[in-house]
Chains A and B, each alone.
Chain A
Amino acid sequence: MNTNLKISNVTKIYPGCVANDNVSLEFNSGKIYALLGENGAGKSTLVKILSGVIIPDEGKIYLNENNLNLKSPSDAKKNDIGMVFQHFNLFETLSVFENLIIDSDEQRESLREKIDLIMKKYNFPIDLDIPVLNLSAGQKQKVEIIRCLIRNPKVLIMDEPTSVLTEQETSELFLSLKKFSEEGILIIYITHKLKEVMQLCDEVAVMRRGKLVSVSEIKNENIESLANKMVGQNLKTIKKKKAKTSSDQLIKITNLNFTSEDPFETNLMDINFSVNRGECLGIAGISGNGQSELFQVLSGEIISEKKSIEFNNNYIGDLNPQERREYLMAFSPEDRLEQAAIPQMKIFENVALNNFKSSNFFNNGLINENKIKEHSKKIISDFNVNTDNIELKSQFLSGGNLQKLIIGRELITSPDLLICFNPTWGLDVGAINYIHETLIKINEQNKSIILISTDTDELLKLSDKISVIHKGKLSKIMNAEEVTSEKLGILMGGAN
């Protein structure tokens, strides 16, 4: 049966921001639709409206001519609209089966049979009786998809589904989605990744700043045309000039191990690598394979054996982050608001936070506010942070601006090594470009970078050498020119 979904004049206004500005769209089953846009373009708001999580200020949703008055997620479910959220809506401590039965009205046995059938049909092998926290991101997503399929949905909405997947898992997902589409499920695919849109979808709607910019068929588009529509301007592409690699070793990691008591963390096993001056070492991997543990060990949040980390001919494995900074290391952690900055503190206060000793910010235990403010202003102008108010609380900066501030803060001491973890995660294209340019500049100044990232494209663009982390083990270190994203994908999945 044909399914027709119509969004009619939907508007949603938040204080200070129009998330959706009079958006109208129409979808028909049999096709896969892309909803494309940068972060903050309003696509997540729109799909949250479709799934009943957010109630629009104006506008209507029609499914097969019926006006759906969606007031809650359960309304959307009742109307056969299924949604897989970007951040999984799973209960980590409950078993897979408990996660699935919680919103089902069926008996345990019949539900189990139904799930088994779905898993066989689409080749989703998952143990139903283990807690969700033991699953990989790809498996968790499959659990989310199964949860939708149990209800025989007419519409399936996927919100940025590939951000946590490997290349292989992504292509598996695409196969499944195509299969669902053939079976008559209307698929709406939300993303900011152009390559995926070209690969998977039939039609594409582009959003920018809450407005619908264009609706077109994929065959009439290419990556550049979509990128320009999405950003609203012509983007310059940046490329790294391959420098002559020096042989001057800066940091060397030898037989580094970390065993955690926390079942949520990954153990690091026998990590060995070295980075030369002027070099960028990229560390790829699917999130949750030990990246955050590796970052913490490198930054000194987790102390390790003294001799396991040699930096500039000093053994520093047992030093804390503050002490490591004195040896001219700098760190940009993954979570900007939880680890890198204190959201409730003002910009200039955050700038002072990582410079307790090696600066003239403090005199005899007193804060030298003028010096810090002067310094903060310099960071803001040097690093293009889009604000002129250094008294602003950091939580009010956008992700991109906050990241620029953090990188700027770290670089002001002109460190020999910058270790960053997902520096562009969740940023829009403009900010990503800026961060990438900055990182390339660091290398050109003969300083080194360790870039831990889950974004394969970013790694291929910036790294001189690449290694892959899988279940706490590093693969051998490869020259970036010899590596393709397919090869990385295979290694990220654990194969050799």
Chain B
Amino acid sequence: MIIDINFVGLIIASIMASAVPLILASCGELITERSGVLNLGVEGMMIIGAISGFALMTVTGSLIVAVFGAMLAGVLISTIFAFLTQTLITNHVATGLALTIFGIGISAMIGKNFVGIPGKEFPVLFESLKDTIPLISPILFGHSIVFYFAFALPFMTNYFLKKTKIGLIVRAVGDSPESASNQGINVRLVRYACILYGGAMSGLAGAYLSMIYTPQWIENMTGGRGWIALALVVFSTWNPIKILIGAMIFGGLTIIQFHMQAIGVRIPVQFLTALPYIVTIIVLVVISRDSRKIRLSTPSSLGKSFHKDN
């Protein structure tokens, strides 16, 4: 049997494309969690980003406005979360869950008028290079700018956390907000910023889904990707590079099981659909099982409210 080498390249590229929203949302949530805040509202922020991006694109016709608008929408909705958990000191878990429910509801409401409207074509970069090298070219070239940004993001996140001073402050706040506060670090400000950043990335992830990946609005179109992004953060033990690996495995298995279903492999569909979830978690657990490293990279104050008393 001869396998078309370019076809393999295209499959890999499609796997990468399906990993993009997971990488974006996970890397955002990773920063939030590294500062000690557990935001379970990723799914809600993503779907808000998705409808905002799509709606703005349809209404204004400008892709740039739409993309940045979606990020802004993520920021706005995460501001609610930040205000509740950081200023009013509510419980992170309950507030995050409420955010997701709120996001799904409000996106469905706004989205009513946008169902069935076709999306716009999103410009891709380096399209002319797409046929130059077999296998490699389809993987590397001809993607949207968001795609390239997503694959650079884990490395930038890693650099930010390990090498920059602000990254150090974020880790310090997540390790011990009390100590940080006594050192004169404004814990609330840092956590607000991290929550808002997480919101922006989730919003972008949502916009990628509704504007680039499947350019249309379907109610509930994030389909649990926000939850997968959350799981990736935990199972990667707060390591951006492992998020990249996890997202690729998840994306890969999702694509492959589609193809398997299409070819008619005699494995129950339910099992195939569940496969990406199971395998991703198993792989991440196996590569992250060093308990010492887990201890060192887990934000000690994760999910705990910090209240400075005077």
Residues of A within 8 A of B264 (CB): none
User: B182's contact among A53, A92, A262, by CB below 8 Å, is which?
Assistant: A53
User: B175's contact among A53, A72, A93, A262, by CB below 8 Å, is which?
Assistant: A93
Given A85-B182, A262-B295, do A93 and B300 touch, yes or no (CB 8 Å)?
Answer: yes
Q: Which of A101, A102, A263 has the most CB of B within 10 A?
A: A102
Residues of B within 8 A of A131 (CB): 296
User: B291's contact among A53, A77, A102, A262, by CB below 8 Å, is which?
Assistant: A262
User: B295's contact among A51, A73, A77, A263, by CB below 8 Å, is which?
Assistant: A263
Query: Which chain B residues numbered 168 to 190 have a C-beta less than 8 Å away from chain A?
Result: 168-169, 171-172, 175-176, 178-185
Q: Does B79 contact A (CB under 8 A)?
A: no
Contact with B along A254-287 (1 / 0, CB 8 A): 0000000111100000000000000000000000
Query: Chain B binding site: helix, strand, loop or mixed by DSSP?
Result: helix
Cα of A408 to Cα of B168 in the assembled complex, Å:
47
Given A54-B310, A55-B310, A93-B296, do A73 and B171 touch, yes or no (CB 8 Å)?
Answer: no
Residues of A within 8 A of B266 (CB): none
- Name the distance in Å between A483's Cβ and chain B's nearest Cβ: 36
Query: Which chain B residues numbered 107 to 166 have a C-beta less than 8 Å away from chain A?
Result: 165
Query: Which chain A residues numbered 80 to 95 have a C-beta less than 8 Å away from chain B?
Result: 85, 88-94
Residues of B within 8 A of A65 (CB): none
Q: Does A98 contact B (CB under 8 A)?
A: yes
In the complex, the chain B residue whose C-beta lies closest to that of A14 is B309
Residues of B within 8 A of A93 (CB): 171, 175, 295-298, 300
Residues of B within 8 A of A261 (CB): 291
Contact A98 B291 (CB under 8 A): no
Residues of B within 8 A of A102 (CB): 165, 168-169, 172, 183, 185
Cα of A152 to Cα of B310 in the assembled complex, Å:
27
Chain A residues bordering chain B, tally (CB within 8 A):
27
Cα of A55 to Cα of B309 in the assembled complex, Å:
10
Q: Does A129 contact B (CB under 8 A)?
A: no
Q: Does A103 contact B (CB under 8 A)?
A: yes
In the complex, the chain A residue whose C-beta lies closest to that of B162 is A98
- Name the distance in Å between A389's Cβ and chain B's nearest Cβ: 26
Cα of A89 to Cα of B296 in the assembled complex, Å:
17
Contact B300 A73 (CB under 8 A): no
Residues of A within 8 A of B175 (CB): 91-94
Cα of A274 to Cα of B127 in the assembled complex, Å:
79
Contact A103 B291 (CB under 8 A): no
In the complex, the chain B residue whose C-beta lies closest to that of A104 is B165
In the complex, the chain A residue whose C-beta lies closest to that of B186 is A72
Query: Chain A binding site: helix, strand, loop or mixed by DSSP?
Result: loop
Cα of A101 to Cα of B296 in the assembled complex, Å:
18
Cα of A101 to Cα of B166 in the assembled complex, Å:
11
Q: Does A74 contact B (CB under 8 A)?
A: yes
Contact B300 A103 (CB under 8 A): no
Residues of B within 8 A of A54 (CB): 310
Contact B179 A91 (CB under 8 A): yes
Cα of A152 to Cα of B171 in the assembled complex, Å:
26
Residues of A within 8 A of B176 (CB): 89-92
Cα of A102 to Cα of B296 in the assembled complex, Å:
17
In the complex, the chain B residue whose C-beta lies closest to that of A260 is B291
User: A103's contact among B184, B297, B310, by CB below 8 Å, is which?
Assistant: B184
Residues of B within 8 A of A74 (CB): 184
Contact A73 B184 (CB under 8 A): yes
Residues of B within 8 A of A264 (CB): 295
In the complex, the chain A residue whose C-beta lies closest to that of B184 is A74
Query: Which chain B residues numbered 214 to 257 have a C-beta less than 8 Å away from chain A?
Result: none
Give 9 closest A-B pairs by Cβ, nearest first.
A74-B184, A89-B179, A73-B184, A91-B175, A263-B292, A89-B182, A91-B172, A93-B296, A103-B183
Other than A98-B168, A261-B291, give 10 A-B pairs with Cβ distance below 8 A.
Answer: A53-B182, A54-B310, A73-B182, A91-B171, A91-B172, A93-B295, A93-B297, A101-B165, A103-B183, A263-B295
Q: Which residues of A contact B (CB under 8 A)?
A: 51-55, 72-74, 77, 85, 88-94, 98, 101-103, 131, 133, 261-264
26 A–B pairs (Cβ distance < 8 Å), ordered by A: A55-B310, A73-B181, A73-B184, A74-B184, A77-B184, A89-B178, A90-B176, A90-B179, A91-B179, A91-B180, A93-B171, A93-B295, A93-B297, A93-B298, A94-B171, A98-B168, A98-B172, A102-B165, A102-B172, A102-B183, A102-B185, A133-B295, A133-B296, A262-B291, A263-B291, A264-B295
